């Protein structure tokens, strides 16, 4: 434990597969700012999301609890305000907490422990995006992914995603200067961006960073009739089984994704630069991660919603005081972030507050500070669209096991088979291992009970959503409070007061 609580700044991408970064070895993609953090910090090479979909992943990340424990099933599941988050814990340990950007909170509580939220969100906060497991084969065209993002990929001067991320970065950097000027409390800032999430549309300067002909194509494509059962349903759901993108479409989409990854990386650089400018970098733990990855045409799949490596893996890089320089390969996941933050924040004088809640993750702080492997496990759960039964993933050691009651189980040796081309579930040499994984899932997850609860929660939310379409509209979307009469220079203040309030570093007092 430390005698001084360091600041924590967590920078989150949306839909960023680590395989598509130079920090994790991609030969084309340029992520120099993430590279620099990795060069002076710890890179986690087997980090996973706990659900390969935005809202469920983020709710697990915030709470340190798995999807099925908190009923965070899909992108319209309510995140209950009674569930403590790392923002609650850190506030209890004396931290100021702030969210700038996306967290996809669903429900009337749009803070979930943060002192401040300085931007709105980018996606709806109501129950509109509720899937229906009783009609699992029916597409919901209003918000289901389709292949338009691939076929329409390219260049634009602006998009709603660019506008959003510019706002997120600006307000995050301004708040960091405010914290530095106050010098009263340690702070935890979460800056959460939407890029490189599709639509795959990039500004010209980021598109031009890459030679179009040098954009690599997917390493593995699989015809529809040779896909596993879940992947066939996924291809049907995103219409990839009927709309086959051309090579030009695929290269354009990957080009734009790479460009937007570099754009996100530039925001990492801006925030780190701000920490340096306000004199806080040497006392700040910087964490870079994402909510899930993107298949980007690998295995002929797109987006996420599955537990193959490009969808389920996330980048995870930590740098700052006390962090060892290196890389570790022990499987870990986003639920591990909460206990890690508590270890970072705890001192002899500030014990961890107890809220009587189960924590499904374990702290990664010992690995981050020593580089010693802890040989942990990563658990994933998927209970959203394009399935009618829960999907469970266990990654332990070199092996990954994926199980869904409606599909044949899959077992892969990730170390020997990183592209997951050989299913070992029925291999004679791996029968015992497959049986052990199957027994572990049978003991840990009651599939029928989970399915019943998923459907019951869907019906509840569908009823509420339909009713709310009648009468006067009530929105849960977060509207950041702004007091224009207190901003910049106003007639109730001396203009020198406004100048002094925002100047950093402040002028020395005589």
Q: What is the pLDDT of residues 268-296, one digit of tens each?
A: 999 999 999 999 999 999 999 999 999 99
Give the contacts of 276 (CB within 8 A, at least 6 positions apart).
none
Q: In Å, how far from its chain's centre is CA 98?
A: 17
pLDDT of residue 502: 83
Active site (annotated) includes residue 88: no
Rounded to whole angstroms, the Cα distance separating 280 from 183 reads 10
Q: State the average pLDDT over residues 127-138.
A: 89
Q: Which fold has domain 7-380?
A: Alkaline Phosphatase, subunit A (3.40.720)
121: burial class by Cβ within 10 Å (0-12, 13-18, 19+)? Answer: buried
pLDDT at 509: 54
> What element of type H or E holds 223?
none
Summarize pLDDT for 42-68 with one digit per residue, the tens: 999 999 999 999 999 999 999 999 999
- The CA-CA-CA angle for residues 83, 104, 447, to 5°, reads 60
Query: Stretch 225-235: mean pLDDT, rounded?
Result: 95
Q: Do 49 and 361 form a contact (C-beta atoms < 8 A)?
A: no
What pLDDT, on a 0 to 100 scale, did the predictor assign at position 234?
A: 94
Helix, strand or coil, per DSSP, at residue 483: coil
| Pair 305, 150: CB distance under 8 Å | no
Position 26 pLDDT exceeds 70: yes
Look at residue 354 in the predicted model and tell me its pLDDT: 76
Contact 70, 97 (CB under 8 A): no
User: pLDDT-derived band of residue 357, with 50, 70 and 90 as boundaries?
Assistant: confident
Quick one: what percent of the chain has pLDDT higher than 70? Answer: 99
- pLDDT tens-digit readout, 252-272: 999 999 999 999 999 999 999
Distance of CA 129 to the CA centre of its chain: 18
Strand partners, 9: 189, 286
- Residue 397 pLDDT greater than 70, yes or no: yes
The residue annotated as part of the active site, out of 49, 88, 98, 104, is 104
Give the strand order in the sheet containing 7-14. 116-117, 96-101, 187-196, 7-14, 284-290, 316-319, 42-44, 326-328
pLDDT of residue 76: 96
What tens digit of pLDDT does each residue of 323-337 get?
999 999 999 999 999
pLDDT > 60? residue 2 = no
Half-sphere exposure of 490 (CA within 13 A, CB side): 8
* Band of residue 150 on the pLDDT scale cut at 50, 70, 90: very high
Residue 104 annotated to the active site: yes
Distances in Å between the Cα of 270 and the Cα atoms of 77, 170, 274, 288, 394 are 33, 9, 6, 13, 36
Please give the pLDDT value at position 510: 42
Residue 126 CA, distance from chain mean position = 20
- The helix (H) or strand (E) run that includes residue 383 is none
Long-range contacts of 392-397 (CB under 8 A, 24+ apart): 392/441, 392/445, 393/48, 393/307, 393/312, 394/437, 394/440, 394/441, 395/46, 395/48, 395/331, 396/331, 397/331
pLDDT the model gives residue 436 = 98
| Model confidence band, residue 245 (pLDDT cutoffs 50, 70, 90) | very high
Domain boundaries, the chain: 7-380
Query: For position 176, what pLDDT does the model report?
Result: 97
Whole-number pLDDT of residue 3: 58
The pLDDT of 394-408, averaged and rounded, is 97
CA atoms within 13 A on the CB side of 21: 35
Do residues 267 and 191 lie in contact, with contact meaning Cβ atoms separated by under 8 Å? yes
> What pLDDT score was predicted for residue 501?
80
pLDDT in tens, 368-388: 999 999 999 999 999 999 999
Instruction: In whole angstroms, give the CA distance from residue 486 to residue 12.
Output: 31
**151-165, 295-309, 350-364, 433-447: range with lowest mean pLDDT:** 350-364
Q: Which of 49, 54, 188, 404 is catalytic?
A: 54
pLDDT at residue 201 tops 90: yes
Are 232 and 224 within 8 A, CB to CB? Answer: yes
Neighbours of 419 (CB within 10 A): 14
């Amino acid at each position: 434990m430390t005698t001084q609580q360091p600041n924590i700044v967590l920078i989150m991408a949306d839909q960023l597969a680590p395989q598509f970064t130079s920090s994790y070895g991609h030969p084309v993609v340029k992520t120099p700012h993430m590279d620099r953090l990795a060069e002076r910090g710890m890179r986690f090479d087997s980090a996973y999301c706990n659900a390969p979909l935005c809202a469920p992943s983020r709710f697990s990340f915030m709470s340190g609890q798995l999807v099925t424990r908190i009923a965070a099933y899909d992108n319209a599941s309510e995140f209950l305000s009674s569930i403590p988050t790392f923002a609650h814990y850190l506030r209890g340990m004396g931290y100021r907490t702030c969210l700038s950007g996306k967290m996809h909170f669903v429900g009337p509580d749009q803070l979930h422990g943060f002192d401040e939220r300085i931007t709105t969100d980018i996606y709806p906060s109501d129950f509109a995006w509720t899937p229906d497991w009783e009609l699992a084969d029916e597409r919901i065209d209003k918000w289901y992914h389709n292949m338009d993002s691939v076929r329409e990929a390219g260049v634009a001067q602006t998009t709603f995603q660019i506008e959003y991320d510019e706002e997120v970065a600006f307000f995050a950097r301004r708040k960091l200067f405010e914290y530095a000027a106050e010098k009263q409390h340690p702070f935890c800032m979460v800056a959460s961006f939407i890029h490189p999430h599709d639509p795959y549309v990039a500004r010209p300067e980021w598109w031009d960073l890459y030679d179009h002909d040098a954009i690599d194509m997917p390493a593995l494509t699989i015809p529809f009739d040779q896909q596993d059962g879940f992947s066939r349903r996924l291809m049907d759901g995103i219409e990839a089984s009927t709309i086959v993108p051309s090579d030009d479409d695929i290269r354009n989409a990957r080009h734009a994704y790479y460009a937007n990854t570099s754009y996100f990386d530039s925001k990492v650089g801006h925030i780190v630069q701000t920490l340096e400018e306000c004199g806080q970098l040497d006392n700040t733990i910087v964490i870079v991660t994402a909510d899930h990855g993107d298949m980007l045409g690998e295995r002929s799949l797109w987006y996420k919603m599955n537990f193959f490596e490009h969808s389920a893996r996330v980048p995870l890089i930590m740098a700052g005081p006390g962090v060892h320089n290196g890389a570790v390969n022990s499987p870990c996941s986003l639920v591990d972030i909460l206990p890690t933050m508590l270890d970072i924040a705890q001192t002899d004088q500030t014990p961890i507050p107890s809220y009587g809640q189960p924590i499904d993750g374990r702290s990664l702080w010992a690995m981050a500070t020593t580089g010693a492997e802890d040989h942990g496990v990563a658990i994933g759960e998927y209970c959203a669209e394009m399935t009618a039964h829960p999907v469970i993933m266990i990654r332990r050691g070199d092996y990954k096991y994926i199980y869904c009651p409606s599909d044949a189980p899959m077992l892969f040796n990730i170390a020997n088979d990183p592209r997951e081309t050989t299913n070992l579930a029925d291999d004679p040499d791996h029968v015992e291992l497959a049986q052990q994984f199957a027994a572990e899932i049978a003991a840990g997850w009651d599939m029928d009970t989970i399915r019943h609860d998923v459907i019951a929660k869907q019906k509840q939310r569908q009823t509420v959503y339909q009713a709310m379409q009648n009468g006067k509209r009530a929105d849960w979307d977060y509207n950041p409070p702004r007091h224009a009469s207190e901003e910049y220079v106003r007639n109730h203040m001396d203009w020198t007061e406004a100048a002094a309030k925002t100047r950093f570093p402040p002028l020395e007092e005589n």
